[in-house]
Structures are given as structure tokens and as C-alpha cells.
Amino acid sequence: MPEPPSSETRPYHHGDLRRALVEAARQLLETEGPSAMSLRAVARQAGVSPAAPYHHFKDKGELLEAVAAEGWAVLGGEMMAAMEDAASVPDPTPVLLAYVHFARTRPALYRIMFDGARSAESLPFLTDAPEGSPFALLRERLALADDCRTVAEIELAIAASWSAVHGLAEMAGFKQFEHLKAELGGELPFLEAVLRRMKPGQIAD
Amino acid sequence: MPEPPSSETRPYHHGDLRRALVEAARQLLETEGPSAMSLRAVARQAGVSPAAPYHHFKDKGELLEAVAAEGWAVLGGEMMAAMEDAASVPDPTPVLLAYVHFARTRPALYRIMFDGARSAESLPFLTDAPEGSPFALLRERLALADDCRTVAEIELAIAASWSAVHGLAEMAGFKQFEHLKAELGGELPFLEAVLRRMKPGQIAD
DNA sequence: TGTACATCAGTGAACGCGCGTTCACTGATGTAC
DNA sequence: TGTACATCAGTGAACGCGCGTTCACTGATGTAC
């Protein structure tokens, strides 16, 4: 664990407190839950006074946004990697699986990312995704997955894909499905089986 | 709005404070958001002192559980009604749609229901659903939707269905999909189109 | 190379706030006789 | 039918707490000359 550094190891000036605060927040979020992620607790975790964060963030909300933004960046990277690994096949399942896997391994972080995106009423990197970003690539891949038709058909595929991965990510933890997971040989096969069943990226019937 | 009753209309003894508190909590949740739903605010909303709720609930958590439980009961009723309306067809879509519609119209309530179910690590009324409850009926219907095969196939259909409705319910509010909604003629057709695309209740390919 | 000084990034004490919960209390209700 | 009393369901004041944020401050750093 990235311990709160003892006073003699850390100089008066931190060096990169901003990054340290975001990291401390992410860690608190994951280990103690969202209600434990107060500004004071984050500062404490980073080994710094409660007022220090205000030199890097306007208020608590801005820190939260930074945490979420970093989360989206990491998720984007993992989706991109999955896409490159499976570059030869047009099947979108690996990318979708990468999304679900991210959300399953960092559920609390994923929650604040999603909530932030909801209050912003759009998913970052999805709508205004720069050309070549993983989200833009996913859109292209979905458009190509079958012989694409109308814009509406592609949009339907996107809506279905996103609903599928989000829903699956949040439902996969329920005890309810443990029997099925065991039968299929673990969580990953389970996730893949459910995803493939929904065929969210497929355009036509 | 069910106003905080003026002191002369309400007698010293409330009559049904327990129900009033649950209702006040639900209303605060929906209008002001989850962070506004403090025990004190709920008591205030119900026109009662901060200590009064403790005659009906052990602590805040117990009130929250009661709110969630009532939510599940209402959702169960609406799913049941949808099922009866479409009793003749084996298509599970209407019931799934009822679930999504509930969650879409009471998003904050749905959130605490879901979070409560997650921390309990099961969905109430789903696992230990009494014979004849809507959730048990849905399970039966899913089992019958196609020519059912193995238990695993049915469980997969359930996992897919639940992931689909949960994911869709939470994603449907994103601005991202407004164009598609408009094209399809509103939110309901949109929801139905996405659900049908995923075929979450279908067993075989 | 040394010094004055502006700027930056911390400190720590304090603020007011709303929270969950407890406490001794009191008004209203219902039951026994 | 009336009265004593137990019980129930409220009150309102108080508790301690952690929170977000502000403030005057100070130590460290870098730049101009």
C-alpha cells in the first residue's frame, strides 16, 4: 500500500500532490467505500493537511471529477488494448468484456465515473470522442460488425451494447449467479457467455 | 404534495407515522436526491421531531430498508400487472419493460433498492421468491419462452434479462440516445426496441 | 556567487453546519376495576 | 360511568462527530540583479 509517508521522508513540498490526491481518493473509494472518500480523509491518506488539496482543486467536486476522468482514461486504455489484441476479428465481444472487467474490478470507482457521466448527461469519450479513441473505434467496429444499415440501426447497437455491459457489470456480483458461474468455469466465462447471448453489437437479426 | 401537516390539523399521535415516514423518505429521495434523505429531513418532512422515527425504526438503516422493501413490492405489482396484461403471449418483453419503466420513473428509489439488494448479495423476491410472486413467474416464463434446455440455459437467460433491464434502465437517460429516441417515436418505443434487440429472455440461438 | 524578493505550496487552527442518536420528559390512549 | 394507572408515541434539548471550507501564517523555491 502507498502508505501516508512519514514526515521525515517527505519534504515540505510534495512534488506531485495533485496526482497523489487523486490516487489516495481512488484507493479510499475502493477500500472504504464512497462515503469514506471525504476531502479530509483523502488529505489524511496523502499525509497532508486538510487545507492542502485546495491548492490543487477548487473544491471537493473538482477532485471527484479528476478521479472520474482518470478512471475513464484507464478504461479507455484497457478497451484499446483489448481491441488491438483482437484486431483481426470483427467481433466486438473482447472490447465489451474489457469494459465489464474494468467495472467489476473497480466497482466503486466505476460508480462515480458513471454517476458523473450521468449528471453530465453524456458518457465522456463517447460522444465527443477524438478520432481514433477507443470509444470512437468501438463505434466504427459496431458499424462494421454486420453489414451496417441505417444510422438508427447502428445507434440501436450502441445503446444495446452499452446497456449490456453496464447492466452485466453491476449484476455480475449477485450471489444469484454463483451457481452458473461455477458451472461455466469462473466469472470470465460467465461474463462472456452472457454477453454473447445478448449479441448487443449485432446489427441485423 | 403531501405537505408537512400544520400543527392544528395533526393530533399529538400521528396515527400511521411509520407509513408517513417511508413515504416522506421516498419523496425526499426522488425530489432532492439521496444525500438529502437524512433521518432529520425525513422527520421534518413528516412534520415530526427528529427523535420520533426512533419509535418506529431502530436506526436510519432500518428506515432505508423499509423504503427499499416498499419499492420492491410496488415493482413486483407492476411487473405482475404487465404479465397479466400480456398473459396470452409467451414473450417476456412486457414484463421486462415494466421493470425498466419503474426504474426510469423512480431512478433514485431504484438506486437504493438495487444497492440494498447488492449489499444483501441477492435480489429480494428473486431468489427466495414465494411461489406465484412476479419474480418467480418471470423465471417460469423465461423457462418456457423457447423450448427450454438445461438449467444453465435458463439461468443464462435470467442473467441476461436482468442485466439487460438494469443496464437499459440506467443508460436510457443519457443524452447520447435522444436522437434515436426521437426517431423511434419516444422513450417507450426506444426501450422496447433495445430490449427486443438483446432478446435477453430467449434460450437458444 | 550572493542576496532580495516574489511566488508557490504547504500548515494548523478555526468556522459553522447538519448529521445520527440519546435522554428525560409529557401528552394521549386504553384497560381494569 | 368514573377513576387509577400502565403503556404508547410523541417532544425538544443536547451530545459528539466529521465534514467542507477559510484564514492568516510560514517554509521552500526560483529568479533578477
Task: Kindly state the cell numbers that stand for A141.
Answer: 467496429
pLDDT at A151 over 80: yes
> Quick one: residue A9, left, alpha or beta (phi over 0 = left, psi -120 to 50 = alpha)?
alpha
Residues 27-86 of A with CB under 7 A from strand D: 36, 38-41, 50-51, 54, 59-61
Tell me the one-letter amino acid at A141.
R
pLDDT at B200: 87
> What value does the mean pLDDT take over residues A63-70?
96
pTM (2 d.p.): 0.92
pLDDT at B21 over 90: yes
Task: Supply the pLDDT for residue B147.
Answer: 57
CB contact under 8 A, B175 and A126: no
The confidence score (pLDDT) of residue B48 equals 97
**Cα of B145 vs its chain's centroid, Å:** 23
Give me the residue from A126, A172, A190 closest to B176, CB to CB: A126
Strands (DSSP E) found in B89-197: none
Quote the CA–CA distance of A191 and A172 in Å, as a whole number. 8
pLDDT at A148: 55
C-alpha cell at A50: 486538510
pLDDT in tens, B67-116: 999 999 999 999 999 988 888 777 889 999 999 999 999 999 999 999 99
pLDDT at A136: 80
The single residue listed with the C-alpha cell 453530465 is: A120
Contact A197 B168 (CB under 8 A): no
Cβ-in-10-Å burial (0-12, 13-18, 19+) of B43 comes to: buried
Quick: pLDDT tens for A117-145: 988 877 876 666 677 777 787 887 887 76
Cα(B196)–Cα(B205) distance, integer angstroms: 14
The three-class DSSP label of residue A95 is: helix
At B47, is the pLDDT very low, low, confident or very high (cuts 50, 70, 90)? very high
Looking at residue A124, its pLDDT comes to 72
Quote the minimal CA–CA distance from A4 to chain B in Å: 30
